[in-house]
């Protein structure tokens, strides 16, 4: 089907912190199209509670200490060059959020940014806005980007197809009920995480790995997709897929983890760091303790702290768990681990560029290698800021702009058969059984065989191209890459 595609210089897929910060740093002479699958604030960025890690107090902290903590948490599998970029350039971006874009971080009496501590950090270095830092940054940056005349922001617009010809990217975008067609000289994928490939996750509904699927199908390198982070302290609620997170900062401010007998147990596994061990370690300790007690009941207790301190530092968490019937100033809260974050993703270099010319990836869908095998708390917002700015700088310097306003290109019609029901649910059950904290190789092998069948069916069938199809194909592709890596790891171990 021959179609006319309207051209932009840059298309940014995603309006989370990484997408918006890239737009704010791009040259104002560039025409920019920004897409958001749902409303602008429905994204992982808006859910971030704890804050952004950065060396803001050089008297007490240093780049070397932040680098060391990042490497320890990442099991030394980090890309050291990019960790250095992250840590050394990050403080300027955090300061810029406040000074240029009006983000309000909590302050000390002397006016300096008040810093808290989280698991794995040897110093207080987390800039925060109470316990809703992501929402504060996201909404402040949205306000700024909406003022820019060169940026067209379209919400409820799902990227359904992305193809490349002659150094141009061609996109089929479903805006409400209508397909619209755009092309761009450069594309930044900032589509967020993959949490929805699991039964239980802290991630928002948009986190279906769409950008990773598009990049994979364009031939971009995908790296370490099986490096999935499971957060130890989500509110234990098996009724909802989206689990409410109890921020790491609660442990950072002294909360204890308790087993089903309401006894502390972390000292048995981590005598020094105890509750302040990195989150992958804490999640594994919970599973070990579960084997010992035979119970999956766990609690987080900060009731020994001053109630006013707890209420003023964690107002959102306090109110949320109160709604569920727990007053955290008086009693422990039920918690259990669940999927939280993706360390791997679309592989990029130190400027956020993929192996495909003109294609960039930023934020949670990208793999810069800064997190290694496990992300240090609050380093992901920092990564989203630093590397999306570097992408913008690379496009400002090297991206090509301009060209005819409309370009002819052919795409097959989006019409086709409806999808069979239940595929997403089936994928989620497979992943939850095959790879939750520790891989279950028997389940992974069985799961991979079924996922491969589903992948072939989606690739070969004539299905209608719409949001359900894109998300299902993305979940299947993500599950396929993760389980393939898991099985390759098993083969290496043997
Ligand atoms: C509960 C929670 C708490 C967290 N707390 C912290 C914290 O304290 N500190 C920290 O550093 N990190 C934290 N994180 C992680 C951090 O929030 C994320 O890694 C980061 O915000 C990701 O930003 P992003 O811009 O990459 O993606 P997101 O903010 O998730 O944005 C993704 C965007 O892509 C769009 N999109 C996706 N697919 C399509 C498509 N097909 N078409 C069009 N648009 C599409 C979505 O609509 C959305 O706008 C937390 C995460 C969660 C879930």
417 belongs to a structural domain? no
- What pLDDT was estimated at residue 48? 95
Q: How far is Cα 373 from Cα 224, in angstroms, rounded to an integer?
A: 8
Pair (394, 473) in one structural domain: no
457 belongs to a structural domain? yes
The sign of the dihedral angle between the CA atoms of 403, 404, 409, 411 is positive
CB-based contact 181:6 (threshold 8 Å): yes
pLDDT at 478 over 80: yes
418 belongs to a structural domain? no
- Could you give the percent of the chain with pLDDT greater than 70? 100
Cα-to-centroid distance, 307 and ligand 1 (Å): 31
Ligand 1 atom closest to the Cα of residue 249 is 8
Q: How far is CA 185 from the centre of its chain?
A: 26
Ligand 1 atom closest to the Cα of residue 340 is 53
**Angle formed by the axes of helices 17-25 and 379-398, nearest 10°:** 30
CB-based contact 87:63 (threshold 8 Å): yes
**Substitution candidate for ligand 1 out of 16, 69, 211, 471 with most atoms within 8 A of CB:** 16
* Averaged pLDDT, 342-353: 98
363 belongs to a structural domain? yes
Alpha helix positions (H), 348-466: 379-398, 423-434, 441-460
Q: pLDDT, tens digit, for every residue of 409-462?
A: 999 999 999 999 999 999 999 999 999 999 999 999 999 999 999 999 999 999
**Substitution candidate for ligand 1 out of 21, 46, 127, 191 with most atoms within 8 A of CB:** 191
Cα-to-centroid distance, 192 and ligand 1 (Å): 4
Cα-to-centroid distance, 183 and ligand 1 (Å): 24
Pair (47, 158) in one structural domain: yes
138 belongs to a structural domain? yes
Task: In the chain, count H helices and then E strands.
Answer: 15, 20
Indicate the pTM of the whole model.
0.96
What's the domain count of the chain? 3
Cα-to-centroid distance, 364 and ligand 1 (Å): 6
Pair (363, 218) in one structural domain: yes
CB atoms under 10 Å from CB of 88, counted, come to 14
415 belongs to a structural domain? no
Pair (194, 328) in one structural domain: no
- What pLDDT was estimated at residue 433? 96
- What pLDDT was estimated at residue 118? 85
Q: How is the beta sheet containing 298-301 ordered, strand by strand?
A: 228-235, 333-342, 298-301, 256-258
CB-based contact 250:242 (threshold 8 Å): no
Q: pLDDT, tens digit, for every residue of 113-142?
A: 999 988 889 999 999 999 899 999 999 999
- What pLDDT was estimated at residue 223? 98
Pair (384, 465) in one structural domain: no
- What pLDDT was estimated at residue 438? 92
The residue whose CA is least distant from atom 26 of ligand 1 is 363
**Substitution candidate for ligand 1 out of 14, 42, 205, 228 with most atoms within 8 A of CB:** 14
Tokens found for residue 348: 């990029």
The one catalytic residue in 117, 161, 251, 279 is 279
CATH assignment at residue 351: 3.50.50.60
Q: How far is Cα 28 from Cα 457, in angstroms, rounded to an integer?
A: 44
Pair (257, 120) in one structural domain: no
Pair (122, 210) in one structural domain: yes
Q: Confidence band (pLDDT; 50, 70, 90) for 205?
A: very high
Pair (181, 243) in one structural domain: no
Q: Which residues line ligand 1 (CB under 6 A)?
A: 13-19, 35-38, 43-45, 47-52, 133-134, 158-159, 190-192, 202-203, 206, 210, 245, 341, 363-364, 378-381, 384, 470
CATH assignment at residue 252: 3.90.700.10
Q: pLDDT, tens digit, for every residue of 267-315?
A: 999 999 999 988 889 999 999 999 999 999 999 999 999 999 999 999 9
CATH assignment at residue 452: 1.20.58.100
Q: How far is Cα 256 from Cα 232, in angstroms, rounded to an integer?
A: 12
Pair (41, 181) in one structural domain: yes
Show which of 314, 338, 362 is a domain's final residue. Answer: 338
Q: pLDDT, tens digit, for every residue of 230-276?
A: 999 999 987 777 889 998 889 989 999 999 999 999 999 999 999 99
- What pLDDT was estimated at residue 483? 98
- What pLDDT was estimated at residue 242? 82
Render the burial of 49-58: b for 16+ CB within 10 Å, e for the rest: bbbbbbbbee
- What pLDDT was estimated at residue 111? 83
Residue 406: domain span? 2-227+343-410
Show which of 281, 313, 338 is a domain's final residue. Answer: 338
Show which of 287, 316, 338 is a domain's final residue. Answer: 338
* Averaged pLDDT, 51-79: 97
Cα-to-centroid distance, 249 and ligand 1 (Å): 19
Is 279 an active-site residue? yes
């Amino acid at each position: 089907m021959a179609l006319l595609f309207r051209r932009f210089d840059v298309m940014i897929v995603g309006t989370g912190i990484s997408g918006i910060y890239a737009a704010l740093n791009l040259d104002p002479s560039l025409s920019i199209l920004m897409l958001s699958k749902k409303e602008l604030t429905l994204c992982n960025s808006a859910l971030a509670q704890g804050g952004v890690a950065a060396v803001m107090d050089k008297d007490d902290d240093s780049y070397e200490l932040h680098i060391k903590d990042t490497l320890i948490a990442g099991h030394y599998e980090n890309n050291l060059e990019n960790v250095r970029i992250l840590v050394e350039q990050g403080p300027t971006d955090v300061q810029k959020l406040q000074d240029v874009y009006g983000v309000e971080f909590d302050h000390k009496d002397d006016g300096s940014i008040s810093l808290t501590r989280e698991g794995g950090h040897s110093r207080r270095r987390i800039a925060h806005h109470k316990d809703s830092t992501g929402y504060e940054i996201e909404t402040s940056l949205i306000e700024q980007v909406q003022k820019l005349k060169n940026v067209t922001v379209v919400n409820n617009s799902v990227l359904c197809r992305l193809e490349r010809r002659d150094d141009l990217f061609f996109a089929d975008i479903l805006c409400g009920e209508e397909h619209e067609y755009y092309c761009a000289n450069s594309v930044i994928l900032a589509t967020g995480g993959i949490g929805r490939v699991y039964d239980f996750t802290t991630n928002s509904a948009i986190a279906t790995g769409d950008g990773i699927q598009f990049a994979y199908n364009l031939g971009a390198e995908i790296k370490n997709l099986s490096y999935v982070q499971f957060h130890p302290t989500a509110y234990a609620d098996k009724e909802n897929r989206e689990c409410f997170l109890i921020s790491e900062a609660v442990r950072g401010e002294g909360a204890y983890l308790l087993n089903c007998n309401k006894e502390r147990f972390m000292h048995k596994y981590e005598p020094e760091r105890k509750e302040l061990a990195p989150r992958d370690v804490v999640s594994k300790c919970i599973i070990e303790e579960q084997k010992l007690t035979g119970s999956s009941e766990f609690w987080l207790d900060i009731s020994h702290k001053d109630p006013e301190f707890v209420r003023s530092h964690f107002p959102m968490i306090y109110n949320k768990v109160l709604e569920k019937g727990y007053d955290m100033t008086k009693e422990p809260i039920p918690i259990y681990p669940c999927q939280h974050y993706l360390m791997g993703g679309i592989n990029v270099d130190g400027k956020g560029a993929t192996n495909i010319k003109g294609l960039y990836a930023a934020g949670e869908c990208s793999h810069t290698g800064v997190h290694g095998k496990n992300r240090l708390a609050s380093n992901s917002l920092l990564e989203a800021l630093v590397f999306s700015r570097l992408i913008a700088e690379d496009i400002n310097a090297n991206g090509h702009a301009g060209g005819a306003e409309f370009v002819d290109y052919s795409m097959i019609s989006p019409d086709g058969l409806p999808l069979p029901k239940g595929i997403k649910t089936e994928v989620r059950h497979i992943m939850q059984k095959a790879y939750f904290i520790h891989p279950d190789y028997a389940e992974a092998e069985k799961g991979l065989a079924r996922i491969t069948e589903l992948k072939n069916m989606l690739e070969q069938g004539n299905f209608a191209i719409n949001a359900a199809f894109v998300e299902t194909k993305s979940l299947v592709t993500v599950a396929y890459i993760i389980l393939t890596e898991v099985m390759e790891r098993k083969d290496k171990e043997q």
